[in-house]
Structure formats: structure tokens, C-alpha cells
Amino acid sequence: MILLEANPELMAAHTAKELALEMYSCKDKTLYVELLEIFKNYIDEKYFLQL
């Protein structure tokens, strides 16, 4: 975890991966849609910060 904290880009990639895994394993459609929105917002925010 220390490596992630020291590297913001690596932390963002790790967080996106964790969100994607949570979505992938979701069996509830309503929760999936909520997680998808969170995932999309996170990716948009991180991509926007890098521009």
C-alpha cells in the first residue's frame, strides 16, 4: 500500500481496478447500475485531472 500512496497514478489505476472488480462480481442489477455510475465518474474525474 505504501507504493500506491507514493504514486497517485498507480493509486488511481488500483482504485479503478477495484471498482471494476466490484462491478463485475455484482449480481444485483440496481447495485450494478449504481456502481457503474461511480466507476464512470471516477474515471472521468481522474482523466480530467490528467489533461
What's the pTM value of the predicted model, to 2 decimals? 0.72
Tell me the residue range of the domain where 21 lies.
8-50
Domain total of the chain:
1
What is the per-residue pLDDT for 45? Answer: 86
What is the per-residue pLDDT for 48? Answer: 60
pLDDT digits (tens, 9 = 90+) for 13-26: 899 999 999 999 98
Kindly give the confidence (pLDDT) of every residue in the chain, 51 residues in length, as a single tens digit, with 9 standing for 90 and above.
688 889 888 888 899 999 999 999 989 999 999 999 999 998 888 876 565
Q: Helices H, strands E: what count in the chain?
A: 3, 0
d(CA 10, CA 28): 29
What is the per-residue pLDDT for 34? Answer: 93
Give domain status of residue 18, yes or no: yes
d(CA 23, CA 2): 25
